[in-house]
């Protein structure tokens, strides 16, 4: 049995296999063909952090695959009253076929997976956001930019930056990450990614200069400067991130064919300008839709792996 906790746990071949499956299911969906890939399967969806795209995409996805999703907030289950994660895992995993968790520390989801009898999917943690990167790369493939990919991530060294590191290290493309001083990516995650990059041939550059990162890039991406739980730091963060907004002048440094991605929600006038958000280079809403399709691929792939000896 496999879990989907970080992209570092997967090989290049497995990641691309899941995405091929996702594209197949997406094509069928566009033709209004809803095949029961997961008939009567139940997906438990545990949300310690709220979300628009994660809930809608997973709940819609499992339904279109022939199953049903159960939304479980901290107020709906005993985790909100202090039940150990290990106990919750052993109970819920005996009643559902798969679990998606959107929570805080990665250690929580790792503990849940350790005690779970069913596959566990990381819907987001403070350290990683692997399902978003599957949607991002799917969008890049559809734009025809997966060959000779040069990705520039500009902004906070957060879970998105970490997952970009994992993806680049596994698939072997060039990644440049630009963060303000004091907001760099986690040193341990970077070190592990650089080790993996030795095998894949990935080129990873870390800088404090956003222009250096974007120059000649084929994909430019960013994330909010103030993530959930950081609202009290907003004033200081906005000041510290001065010069990091992706605007039209920044995009001109990238290749002419470059696209812009953002995992959303986006705060226009902060990490990205309204002009870039609404430009022809912006594929953010295609990217958002691909959360649905990429996650279907992940769920079906994991479900199939349960039956393998």
282 is in an annotated binding site: no
Length of the chain in terms of residues written: 309
132 is in an annotated binding site: yes
Q: Do 193 and 165 touch, CB atoms closer than 8 A? A: yes
Concerning whether 237 is annotated as a catalytic residue, the answer is no
210 is in an annotated binding site: no
Of the candidates 136, 223, 262, 281, the residue annotated as catalytic is 223
Angle, in degrees to the nearest 10, between helices 12-30 and 130-142? 70
Of the candidates 3, 41, 55, 129, the residue annotated as catalytic is 129
Concerning whether 132 is annotated as a catalytic residue, the answer is yes
Of the candidates 291, 293, 295, 303, the residue annotated as catalytic is 291
Report the half-sphere exposure of 34 (CA within 13 A, side-chain side). Answer: 10
Strand order in the sheet with 219-222: 203-207, 174-178, 150-154, 219-222, 259-262
Of the candidates 106, 132, 281, 295, the residue annotated as catalytic is 132
Of the candidates 3, 41, 102, 162, the residue annotated as catalytic is 102
Concerning whether 263 is annotated as a catalytic residue, the answer is yes
Of the candidates 106, 263, 281, 295, the residue annotated as catalytic is 263
223 is in an annotated binding site: yes
Concerning whether 223 is annotated as a catalytic residue, the answer is yes
201: left (phi over 0), alpha (psi -120 to 50) or beta: left
248 is in an annotated binding site: no
94 is in an annotated binding site: no
Concerning whether 94 is annotated as a catalytic residue, the answer is no
228 is in an annotated binding site: yes
Concerning whether 129 is annotated as a catalytic residue, the answer is yes
218 is in an annotated binding site: no
131 is in an annotated binding site: yes
Q: In angstroms, rounded to a whole number, what is the distance separating the alpha carbons of residues 84 and 193?
A: 31
Q: Would you name the residues annotated as active-site residues?
A: 102, 129, 132, 223, 263, 291
Residue numbering of the annotated binding site for carbamoyl phosphate? 51-54, 78, 102, 129-132, 263-264, 291
């Amino acid at each position: 049995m496999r879990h989907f906790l970080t992209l570092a746990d997967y090989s290049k071949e497995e990641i691309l296999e899941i995405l091929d499956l996702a594209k197949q299911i997406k094509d069928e969906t566009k033709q209004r063909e809803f095949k029961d890939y997961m008939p009567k399967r139940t997906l438990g969806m545990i949300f310690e952090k709220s979300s628009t795209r994660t809930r809608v995409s997973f709940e819609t996805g499992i339904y279109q695959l022939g199953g049903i999703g159960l939304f479980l907030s901290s107020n709906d289950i005993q985790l909100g009253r202090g039940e150990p994660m290990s106990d919750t895992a052993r109970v819920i995993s005996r009643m559902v076929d798969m679990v998606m968790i959107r929570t805080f520390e990665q250690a929580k989801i790792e503990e849940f997976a350790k005690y779970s009898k069913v596959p566990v999917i990381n819907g987001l943690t403070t350290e990683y956001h692997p399902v978003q990167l599957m949607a991002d790369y799917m969008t890049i493939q559809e734009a025809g930019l997966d060959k000779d990919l040069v990705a520039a991530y500009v902004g906070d060294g957060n879970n998105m930056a970490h997952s970009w590191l994992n993806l680049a290290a596994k698939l072997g493309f060039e990644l440049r990450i630009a963060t303000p001083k004091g907001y760099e990516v986690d040193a341990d995650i970077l070190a592990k990614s650089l080790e993996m990059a030795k095998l894949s041939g990935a080129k990873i550059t870390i800088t404090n200069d956003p222009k250096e990162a974007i120059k000649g890039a084929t994909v430019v991406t960013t994330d909010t400067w103030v993530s959930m739980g950081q609202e009290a730091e907003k004033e200081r963060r906005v000041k510290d991130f001065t010069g990091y907004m992706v605007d039209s002048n920044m995009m001109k440094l990238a290749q002419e064919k470059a696209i812009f991605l953002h995992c959303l929600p986006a705060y226009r006038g902060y990490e990205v300008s309204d002009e870039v958000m609404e430009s022809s280079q912006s594929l953010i809403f295609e990217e958002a839709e691909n959360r649905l399709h990429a996650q279907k691929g992940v769920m079906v792939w994991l479900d199939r792996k349960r039956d393998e000896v």
